[in-house]
Structure 1
Amino acid sequence: MQRRSDERGEVLLDALLDGRSAPGLAARAAAVLGVPEQGRYAVAVVRVRPAGQLVDADGLRFFRRARADGELVVVALGDRDPAGLAPLLARWCPGPGGIGPVAEGLAGLGTARRLAEVALLTCVPGEEGIVRLEERLPAALVVSQPELSARLVADVFGPLLDLDPADRALLVRTLDAWLECGGSAGRAAGRLYCHRNTVLNRLRRLEQLTSRSLSRPRELIEMMLALDAFRLSVSPP
């Protein structure tokens, strides 16, 4: 009887994760799984299926569902802060993985799962770790619109794409470091192991190639979004 109950709970949970909305579905799932229908839930998507177990602890309950391309984890958060979920899951699975926004009730698991998959798509090739959608919203916008992203890369980085791969990678790394360092050429130089003037020269060259100025907010935003689109759609040279 317990096995039949577990199997029924898995079927109901899968239906919710797939975004189905049959009348009474969330209530039946809550009763079988022993969780509140209107509780707070998070959904994580991981591409590597770990062999270890996730043990319920500190007010959290975990429900794992295997998929052909990885695994889904539904977390009953209770009153826990979802910000602590990513490092907790990273200890169980190195990733890559994505976590969607908090669902206020079991009926929202389908949307949370879909957005967790978007968060996962913001991980660049080779990246590990579990990322939250809220931390990757600009990149999530980019990966959600692949056709527009391709046009953005072609429009902003078109001349850059014609460069030698090593030269292109150098300019991209410099822009990335400068942005990560809050626009500080000095700090970016320390990260790149070069002189501050070298960073400034590379950025000026990048501005010439793209016909955009890093000092103009709108053009800087275009450059940042194009950089995300480039990194997520092009394998590093």
Structure 2
Amino acid sequence: MSGSAAGRSEEMRRRGDERDGALLDALLEGRDDPGLTVRAACGLDLPEQGRYAVAVLRAGGDGPPGAVMEAEGLRFFRRGRTDREIVVVALGDRDTAVLAPLLERSCPGPGGIGPVADGLAGLGAACRLAELALLTCPPGTTGIVRLEDRLPAALLVSQPELSARLVSDVLGPLLALAPADRALLVRTLDAWLECGGSAGRAAGRLYCHRNTVLNRLRRLERLTSRSLSRPRELIEMTLALDAFRLTAPQP
């Protein structure tokens, strides 16, 4: 092939990639464009009614933006943004649980994966929900999470004004403590929750006596005027703690 012919071929390939990228962007933005899904299906060689997942990653992975990659029998379409990367995955009959380990090979996260989109027309909604899943990752953390595993936190980040009010109303006195004192009580509550409400198991995790855990929890109850033994009040405290962590992580 002559140099001019090779150049024309490369230019045609570049234009084709740009066209396909524009179609994918339009789907991710949820544009109401008649015939868009049909054109995208043809251009991207994808089934219009297939199963898809969208992941939003805060740090870009390896490889050029816009690349189409394959791994473990799945096709990945990458679209770069200023401060993040969007990845569309043609799932076939696979579950979204397989995606996080695959994505973390090239990007440690943080990142969020939305629910399965049934068809190309659902990519816009899936992308918005993947963004929401990303927001449930506290600053400074890594890992790629699924929205369905972070629904309570997703509710919080979707309503920032209410979340701020919840933090203020429930944790106000706790937040007034010295940072080290506050962090100690928060770590104790976290351990207690992760251990299913067992003070003994939490004590083992925190390397302290069971009574020490109980004393710290009682102090937390006094500060918040809420009881950990009352389910509704426990839910309030847990949600408020999650909201606080997402907006002002402990040092």
CA contact (8 A) 2:69 2:77 kept: no
Residue from 162, 167, 171 that aligns with 1:157 = 171
Residue from 151, 157, 161 that aligns with 1:147 = 161
Matched with 1:126 is: 140
Distance 1:66 1:130 in 2: 17
Residue from 94, 108, 114 that aligns with 1:80 = 94
Matched with 1:92 is: 106
Matched with 2:191 is: 177
Matched with 1:231 is: 245
Task: Spell out, residue by residue over 1:109-142, the C-alpha distance to the aligned partner (whole angstroms, 9 max, x if none).
Answer: 1111111111111111211110000110000001
Matched with 2:45 is: 34
Please state how far the C-alpha of 1:185 moved relative to its aligned partner: 1.1
**Identity of counterpart residues, as a percentage?**
78
Please state how far the C-alpha of 1:2 moved relative to its aligned partner: 3.0
Asked if 1:49 is matched to 2:60, the reply is yes
| Number of equivalent positions | 237
Asked if 1:109 is matched to 2:123, the reply is yes
Bigger shift: 52-61 or 150-159? Answer: 52-61
Please state how far the C-alpha of 1:50 moved relative to its aligned partner: 2.1
Distance 1:191 1:134 in 2: 28
Please state how far the C-alpha of 1:177 moved relative to its aligned partner: 1.2
Residue from 36, 44, 61 that aligns with 2:75 = 61
Please state how far the C-alpha of 1:59 moved relative to its aligned partner: 2.8
Letter of the aligned partner of 1:124 in structure 2? Answer: P
CA contact (8 A) 1:152 1:226 kept: yes
Distance 2:23 2:63 in 1: 24
Bigger shift: 182-191 or 50-59? Answer: 50-59
Larger Rg: 2
Q: TM-score, normalised by structure 1?
A: 0.96
CA contact (8 A) 2:139 2:249 kept: yes
Q: TM-score, normalised by structure 2?
A: 0.91
Distance 2:232 2:161 in 1: 21
Letter of the aligned partner of 1:6 in structure 2? Answer: D
Where do 5+ consecutive residues of structure 1 fail to align?
none
Distance 1:159 1:224 in 2: 15
Distance 1:151 1:63 in 2: 39
Matched with 2:5 is: none
Please state how far the C-alpha of 1:215 moved relative to its aligned partner: 0.7
CA contact (8 A) 2:100 2:144 kept: yes
Where do 5+ consecutive residues of structure 2 fail to align?
1-11
